[in-house]
Amino acid sequence: MDPRELYQEMILEHNKKPRNFGVIAEANRHAEGHNPVCGDHITLHLHLEGEQIQGVSFEGHSCAICKASASMMTAQVKGKTVAEAETLIQEFRDMVTGKLDTKTQPHHLGRLTVLAGVSELPSRVKCAVLPWHTLHSAFVAQETASTEKEF
Amino acid sequence: MSDALHISEKALPGGLDIGGVRADFPILQRSIHGKPLVYLDNAASSQMPQQVIDRLVHYQTHEHANVHRGVHTLSQLATTEYENARHKVMNFIGAADAREIIFVRGTTEGINLVMHGYGRAFLKEGDEIILSAMEHHANIVPWQMLRDEKKVVLRIIPMDDTGELLLDEYEKLFNARTKLVAITHVSNALGTINPVREMIATARQHGVPVLLDGAQAAPHLPVNVQDLDCDFYVFSSHKMCGPTGVGILYGKAALLEKMQPYQGGGDMILNVTFERTTYNEIPYKFEAGTPAIAAGIGLGSAIDYITGIGLERIAAHEHALLNYATEAVRDIKGLRIIGTARHKAAVLSFTLDEIHPHDIGTILDHQGIAVRAGHHCAQPVMQRFGVAATARASFAFYNTFEEVDALVAGIHTVQKVFA
């Protein structure tokens, strides 16, 4: 795979100008995602009202894959319910671990499919998944997440 | 089969016959993602020449049996070859006695052995161990385990912004409770070659033994443990063209004899009853169980190969590569070299703009260029320089100036992708 296939315009653009980057004052859930081996470190801030995601933001230092994934994730889940977001988390994990072929199987990932190429780079799967894992941690009120052991 | 080398004679005595050397390494002929492999991750693990590969095949094909046990021919043969390898290691590092050469799994196990056999046996609460700020985790974590168990104190030699240890501060760390100095000879993350001779002399004035982590030194510069007067020296086979799974702990015989065994089992005993066991002599006291026989013999073959080229010649070529690479990247806007000590091994650690080293590593890989990206098992070094990670190109004697050019072109491509 050509690196440009992975580092597509949309990913680079999200890396350069991440959406929902920073802290939201109304946040009532926080979780930290950390992959110490590669150095990706993000903090997720979540504003939950009942089952509704009113707002979500992130901050921290990470590689382009992780940052673009976090940026696109926050844009995608805002306004959704926790259950809808959990479906996306599962589908995203399945996509980047090669279990979901977004070209042939139904899914709700939309533009997140630009990250499908990560499945061909086993060492980078954990980068892409970290924000999603961290979001799940925020839902279940765990304070830290890591994806280095799993992928 | 002999371990005879067929390094091109025309290279001797002057520079390196790089074409001849590269022809010895079959893996260097392969391509990665359709591009010629440019292997610049030698500080993590080096590649193996055909001579060593052949030696391994020959051993498994004709010589294998367990060592130090049987009276039959193959066991004798395997034992002889394995002990020959020990002698080659002895000569390679200038040790006085083959009994001072202990086969271990690698540098990490060597340090753990000293922690257990020396540290746990002789250190008491309040005793102090001096480490440096540029240690690999392998030379930090075992001592932290000892700290937690024995309540000893770890004192850290600080370094300056170039990655050189502050020797004045080092001297100040000594006191009556100092029981060990454990420092790296060459930094894996920065490339710094520490002034270990001077540092050992200082420790000697205080009567303190010194362990040197030689994992990054032994493959790249001549080492003589008697000349250095170090008490322990540890290094790994797989960073010097040998197989993985074997490394060396050198220790002064007088110290090794006093130390407690690291693991119990076969080969390390003289006599066992259910009441008591008499331990074997050194080095066997520290070599419980069947060792990595083929790997040990392979290491012997790798030493033949390296000494056939000559460590002075290797060091000179790698130094030229480092200088060339350092000059070449100087003009790359946004590139920051981490580790600019005056005396450096051929390690080029760097950051590039705000681009994460893992992105650098992935994009370089797709151009066939293998570098390490991450914290290099030296997180305190990363913290010292205020970075989460770096990209690291580390050179070996089989690397070429053209490969440095490929690296520079690759870095430009990374910048273009992220422009």
Can you tell me the ipTM of this complex? 0.84
Does the structure show a pLDDT above 80 at B3? no
Q: What is the pLDDT of residues A69-98, one digit of tens each?
A: 999 999 999 999 999 999 999 999 999 999
Are the beta carbons of B233 and B214 closer than 8 angstroms? yes
Does the structure show a pLDDT above 80 at B136? yes
Q: Which residues contact B193 (CB under 8 A, 6 or more apart)?
A: B185, B186, B217, B221, B341, B343, B344, B345
pLDDT number for residue B264:
87
- The size of the A-B interface in CB pairs under 8 A is 54
Stretch B244-265: mean pLDDT, rounded? 95
Can you give the pTM of this predicted structure?
Answer: 0.91
pLDDT tier for residue B267 given thresholds of 50, 70 and 90: confident
pLDDT tier for residue A39 given thresholds of 50, 70 and 90: confident
Residues of chain B with CATH 3.40.640.10: 55-307
Which one of B186, B230, B377, B381 is the catalytic residue? B377
- Measured in angstroms, the CA of A63 and the nearest CA of chain B are apart by 5
Q: Identify the weakest region by mean pLDDT among A114-128, B267-281, B374-388.
A: B267-281
Report the CATH number of the A3-142 domain: 3.90.1010.10
Residues of chain B with CATH 3.90.1150.10: 9-48+311-417
To the question of domain B55-307 being in CATH 3.40.109.10, the answer is no
pLDDT number for residue A149:
66
Name the region of B392 (left: φ>0; alpha: ψ -120 to 50; beta: rest): beta
pLDDT number for residue B270:
85
**Domain ranges within chain A, ordered by starting residue:** 3-142
Does the structure show a pLDDT above 60 at B69? yes
**Closest Cα partner for A127 from B359, B253, B345?**
B359
Chain B nearest-CA residue for A41 = B388
Stretch B152-158: mean pLDDT, rounded? 98
B33 interaction partners in chain A (CB closer than 8 Å): 1
The better pLDDT of the pair B155, B269 is held by B155
> Is B230 tagged catalytic?
no
Does the structure show a pLDDT above 60 at B175? yes
Q: What is the pLDDT of residues B90-106, one digit of tens each?
A: 999 999 999 999 999 99
| Domain B9-48+311-417, architecture per CATH | Alpha-Beta Complex (3.90)
Q: What is the pLDDT of residues B203-226, one digit of tens each?
A: 999 999 999 999 999 999 999 999
Q: What percent of chain B has pLDDT over 70?
A: 97
Q: What is the DSSP string of A80-142?
A: -BHHHHHHHHHHHHHHHTTS--TTTS--S-GGGGGGGGGGG-GGGHHHHHHHHHHHHHHHTT-
Does the structure show a pLDDT above 50 at B135? yes
Q: What tokens does B184 get? A: 């790296």
Measure the CA–CA gap between B155 and B133, rounded to whole angstroms. Answer: 10
* CB-based contact A3 B417, cutoff 8 Å: yes
pLDDT number for residue B356:
94
Measure the CA–CA gap between B107 and B234, rounded to whole angstroms. Answer: 5
